[in-house]
Amino acid sequence: MPLQRHPGAPTGAVPPEATSALAEGLVTVDHTSSPVQRQANIVGAAEVAVSGSDTTKAAQAALPGVLSDVPVAVLVIDQAAGDVVYANKAAIELAGNVGLPVAVDTWGASAGLTDLNSAPLASTSSPLSLVAAGRPVVGEAVRLSPRRSSDELRAAAADPGSDQVLWVTGFPLSQTDSEQRLSLVVFLQVDGPAGRDDPEAVLQALRERAVVATDIAFTITDPRQEDDPLVWVNPSFTRISGYSYEESVGRNCRFLQGPATEDAAVDDLRRALREQQPITTTLLNYRKDGTAFWNQLSITPVFDGGGELVSFVGVQTDVTERVRVEDDRRAAFAAERAARQDAEQAHAAADAARVEAERAQSRLALMAEATSTLSATLDMADLVDRLASLCVPLLADWVFLTLVDEQGTVRETAHRHRDGHEAALAELAVLHLGNLPETSPTRRSLTTSESVLVEHVTPEWVDRVFPLPETAALFRSLGGTSVMSVPLVARRRMLGALVLVATTDDRAFSSEDVDLARDLSRRAAMAMDNVRLYQQEHTVAETLQRSLLPDLPTIPGVTAAAAYLSASTAAEVGGDFYDLLHLPDGAVGIAVGDVVGHDVTAAAAMGHLRGLLRACAWDAPDTDPGEVLGRVDRLVQGLHVAPMATMVYARAERPTADGEPWRVELANAGHPPVILRAADGSVQVVDGVTGLLIGVDATHRRASLLLEVPVGATLVAYTDGLIERPGEDLDQGIASLAARLAGAPVDATPADLCRHAVGPHPDRRDDVAVLALRFD
C-alpha cells in the first residue's frame, strides 16, 4: 500500500490522519523479516485513516470492554481535549486511581513517566503528547519512576538502571474531522535493568516485546482482495488459534468456524462486513487441534484519506473462561430463579396455610373465649350482654338479639352498635319485634331453626323486611350492607335468634362467617339453657331452703340473728342448719348442726334431722341437752333418716331475779365449740364439753356443761365451714373467728356479729351456718 503523507509532517513521522494497527504495531506482509524490520513494515503498511463517522463509534466504545483485563497498560485519549478518558486495570495500577478525564501530562506525572534521561514528559515532545495530537507513535521508550520526590528523581537520573523502561505505541482511532477524535496508547514493559549498559539492547527488547508480548490477537484483512483474506496476524493469534502465521495469512478467517458456530452470529458478522460497519460479537471458534473456544471479536473498517475501504482490523480475545463462567452464572441464576420460584410457591402455599391456620386458630380462640366468657355467669342479662360484646366489633358492626320463651313469645331483647346508637336500637326493637314479617331474618331463623345470609342488602330488601316506614328509616340510619341471622337452639329448644349486621362492603358476610356465627350461637344457646336450668333449680332450692331454715321467732329477753351460706353453686342450700325454739316451759332451745355433704341431698337429710331434734326437745323441754342429743342419735340410726352429723344443742333458762345470769346447759356432738362474747367485747371459747358425732354410736352417753351467762353476753354457734381454711387446722380457724368477734364494736348487735363472723372468704369450700343469741 503506498504511503500517504500529511503536509507539514516532520520527516520520519507518520501523518496525523494515519493509524497504526491497534497497539502492537499492526500490518506486515513479509513475515520472514526480523522483528525490527517487521515493525517498520507494519508502520509502513498501516498508514491509513480511521473513519470518525457514527458507524465506527460503536466499535470505539467497545474497545475498553475488550482491553479491560489485558496485561498491558492501555489508555484512550480524547484528541480534542487532550485528556485521558479511559484507562484499563493495568493503567490504573500504573498511575493510581486518578479521576478521569484528566490531562495527558497530568496522567503521565501521576504514573511517574519520564524520558530516558529522567526528564518529565510534560517538558518534552513526549509520545503521549504526540498521540494526543493525533499522531501515531510506533514505538518509543520512556522511563517509569512512580511517584518520586525531586531528590529521588535526581538519584534515578544518576542511576537510570534502577527504573523500569516502557515501550509506548499509540495511534488515532478516528478521522480529524469526526465529532470525537480518539487515540489509543499501549504501554509495554521490559523486565529488569538488563540493558542498563546497552541502551540499544533495551530498545531492541522493547521493539520485540511490542510485537509479541501482548495477549490480544490482532488481525488485518484486505477487502480489496478476493474473499477478504488475512494479510497479517500477530503471535497471539497463533497462540490462541494454533494456526501459524503461514497457515493463516491468505485465508478468510472463516476457517476458525466449525459445526457449532452460531449461524446468527456469522450472519451478523457478514452483514457488518458487507455494510462496512464496525461490529463486536462473541462466537464459538475452533482451534487447529479441533478444540472449541469462545472468541470475542471486534472488527473495525479502516478507510484511506479518500474514504476508500482498505482493511478490516480485528481485535480478538479468548473469552472461553468468561463465557463458561457466564454460562455457569446463567445456569446458577436459572437454578436460583427456579429455586426462588419454587420457594415463592412454597412460601405462597405456606402463607396460605398460615392464613388458614391463623383463621382456624382465631376461630378456635373466639370459641374458647366464648365458652369461658359465657359460662362464667349464671345471670341471663349478663350472659346476653357478654354475647353482644363478643360479636361487636369482632364479627359485626351491630347485633340484634331476640330471646323467646317456650311458647315462642319474645321475652327479652338485647342489642349493641359499635358507634352507640342505643336509642335508635331500642326503638327498632320495639317497633320491629311487634311486626315481624315472614321475610325477616329473625322470623325465618325462629321458625326454621336455620341460618339466613343476605350478602348484599338492597333498598327493596329493606322495604320487605321493615314494612313500617319508621323501622326502615331506623335501619338505614343504623347502616347495613350485609346481614346474617343464626338461631339459638340448645337441647332441641328454640331460645331465640342472633342477627349480625355489617355496615360496609368490605365486611360483607360470607358462608364462612355464617359457619363461625353458627358455632358461636350453639355455645351461646347452651350457656343460655344452662342459665335457664340453673334458675329453675335455684327457684326449687330457694323454696326448699325457706322450708328448712326457719324464720327466727321473737322470744322475750332474747335478741337473735342467723346467717346461712351454701357452698353449692347449683343451689343455695346445703346440710348446715340452725334453729331457735321457745320451749313450752319458757326456756330457750338453741341448735346448730351440720349433716355430712353440702347439696340438695344433704339439705333433705338436714330437714329430717332438724325435725327429729325439734320433736325431742319439745316433747321433754326440761330434759338435759345431752340426753336430747342421745335420743336424736338413736332415732337417726333407727330410722336411717340421715348420715353422720355434728350438732350442738343448748337450753337457756331465764334468771329468776334481776341482775342474775342466765343458766345455759350445753351438749356437743362432735361440733366446733361455741364462743361466748361478753358485753365488754371480750370472748371465750367454750370447749369444756364434747362427744361423738350423731350416727356413730347410739349407746354413747353424752354429758352437758352448765354455763352462767351474764346479761348482755352473746352466744355464737356456727358450723365448721366458717373455720376451715386451706392450709390451716381447726384450732387456727377457731382462733381467727374469735379474733374477728373480739374485733367487732362493743355495741355490735347479733346481726353485726354474724357479718363479722362470716367475713369475706371467696375460697370457702363448705356450707356455713351461724346463730348469734344475745341474752338481754
**655: helix, strand or coil:** coil
Task: Provide the angle, in degrees to the nearest 10, between the axes of the packed helices 469-478 and 422-433.
Answer: 150
CATH of 378-539, one of 3.40.1710.10, 3.30.450.40, 3.40.50.300, 3.40.50.10800: 3.30.450.40
- Based on C-alpha coordinates, what's the Rg of the chain? 58
**Span 468-484, pLDDT tens digits:** 899 899 999 999 999 99
In terms of phi and psi (left: phi > 0; alpha: psi -120 to 50; beta: otherwise), the region of 488 is beta
Q: Is 266 exposed, middle or buried (0-12, 13-18, 19+ CB in 10 A)?
A: middle
Q: In angstroms, rounded to a whole number, what is the distance separating the alpha carbons of residues 737 and 393?
A: 49
CB 348 within 8 A of CB 269: no
The pLDDT of 167-186, averaged and rounded, is 65
Q: Is 2 exposed, middle or buried (0-12, 13-18, 19+ CB in 10 A)?
A: exposed
DSSP state of 658: T
Q: In angstroms, rounded to a whole number, what is the distance separating the alpha carbons of residues 245 and 22?
A: 18
Q: In angstroms, rounded to a whole number, what is the distance separating the alpha carbons of residues 504 and 486?
A: 20
In terms of phi and psi (left: phi > 0; alpha: psi -120 to 50; beta: otherwise), the region of 307 is left
User: How far is residue 647 from each of residues 321, 590, 596, 685, 749, measured CA to CA in Å?
Assistant: 106, 11, 11, 16, 24
Q: How far is CA 551 from the centre of its chain?
A: 66
The x, y and z cell numbers of residue 112, run together, are 511517574
Phi, psi of 708 (to 5 degrees): -105, 110
Q: In angstroms, rounded to a whole number, what is the distance separating the alpha carbons of residues 367 and 349?
A: 26
Q: In angstroms, rounded to a whole number, what is the distance separating the alpha carbons of residues 230 and 248?
A: 7
CATH superfamily of 549-775: PPM-type phosphatase domain (3.60.40.10)
Q: In angstroms, rounded to a whole number, what is the distance separating the alpha carbons of residues 289 and 306?
A: 42
The pLDDT, as a whole number, for residue 96 is 85
Name the β-bridge partners of 51.
none
User: How far is residue 703 from each of residues 651, 664, 688, measured CA to CA in Å?
Assistant: 13, 14, 10
The pLDDT of 500-526, averaged and rounded, is 90
User: How far is residue 500 from each of residues 182, 394, 432, 481, measured CA to CA in Å?
Assistant: 81, 11, 15, 11
Picking from 525, 533, 515, 312, the residue whose alpha carbon sits closest to that of residue 403 is 525
Peptide bond connecting 661 to the previous residue in cis, omega within 30 degrees of 0: no
The pLDDT of 630-640, averaged and rounded, is 89
Local confidence band at 132 (pLDDT 50, 70, 90 cut-offs): confident
The x, y and z cell numbers of residue 249, run together, are 495469512
The pLDDT, as a whole number, for residue 179 is 57
Q: Which amino acid is at 228?
A: D
Local confidence band at 175 (pLDDT 50, 70, 90 cut-offs): very low
Picking from 315, 56, 48, the residue whose alpha carbon sits closest to that of residue 180 is 56
The pLDDT, as a whole number, for residue 411 is 77
Query: Which region among 152-161, 436-445, 462-471, 549-558 has the lowest average model confidence (pLDDT)?
Result: 152-161
Say yes or no: do domains 35-318 and 378-539 share a fold. Answer: yes
The pLDDT of 174-179, averaged and rounded, is 49
Average pLDDT over the chain reads 79
Picking from 771, 555, 531, the residue whose alpha carbon sits closest to that of residue 662 is 555
Q: In angstroms, rounded to a whole number, what is the distance separating the alpha carbons of residues 672 and 719?
A: 7
Q: Is the dihedral of CA 224, 228, 234, 235 positive or negative?
A: negative
Please give the CATH number for the structural domain made up of 35-318.
Answer: 3.30.450.20
Query: Which region among 113-117, 459-463, 651-655, 704-708 has the lowest average model confidence (pLDDT)?
Result: 113-117
| Strands, sheet with 558-565, edge to edge from the N-terminal-most edge strand | 558-565, 768-775, 714-718, 674-677, 683-686
**82: helix, strand or coil:** coil
**Span 658-709, pLDDT tens digits:** 889 999 999 999 999 999 999 999 999 999 888 899 988 888 888 999 999 9
Comparison of pLDDT for 541 and 446, the residue scoring more: 446
Name the β-bridge partners of 280.
298
The pLDDT, as a whole number, for residue 180 is 58
pLDDT at 211 > cutoff 50 = no
Which residues lie below 8 Å from residue 176, measured CB to CB, with a gap of 6+? 16, 17, 52, 134
The pLDDT, as a whole number, for residue 186 is 75
Task: Provide the angle, in degrees to the nearest 10, between the axes of the packed helices 380-391 and 320-374.
Answer: 160
Query: Which region among 40-54, 283-297, 362-376, 502-516 has the lowest average model confidence (pLDDT)?
Result: 40-54
pLDDT at 762 > cutoff 70 = no
**Span 320-338, pLDDT tens digits:** 888 888 888 888 888 878 8
The x, y and z cell numbers of residue 391, run together, are 360479636
Q: In angstroms, rounded to a whole number, what is the distance separating the alpha carbons of residues 673 and 730?
A: 11
Query: Which region among 106-115, 282-291, 358-367, 577-586 has the lowest average model confidence (pLDDT)?
Result: 358-367
In 3-state terms the chain splits into helix, strand, coil percentages (rounded to 5) of: 40, 25, 35
**Span 284-320, pLDDT tens digits:** 999 999 999 998 888 878 776 577 888 787 878 888 8
Q: In angstroms, rounded to a whole number, what is the distance separating the alpha carbons of residues 633 and 610?
A: 12
Name the β-bridge partners of 298.
280, 315
Count of Cβ atoms closer than 10 Å to residue 709 Cβ: 21
Local confidence band at 596 (pLDDT 50, 70, 90 cut-offs): confident
Comparison of pLDDT for 357 and 226, the residue scoring more: 226
Q: In angstroms, rounded to a whole number, what is the distance separating the alpha carbons of residues 99 and 87?
A: 10
Q: Where do the domains of the chain lie?
A: 35-318, 319-374, 378-539, 549-775
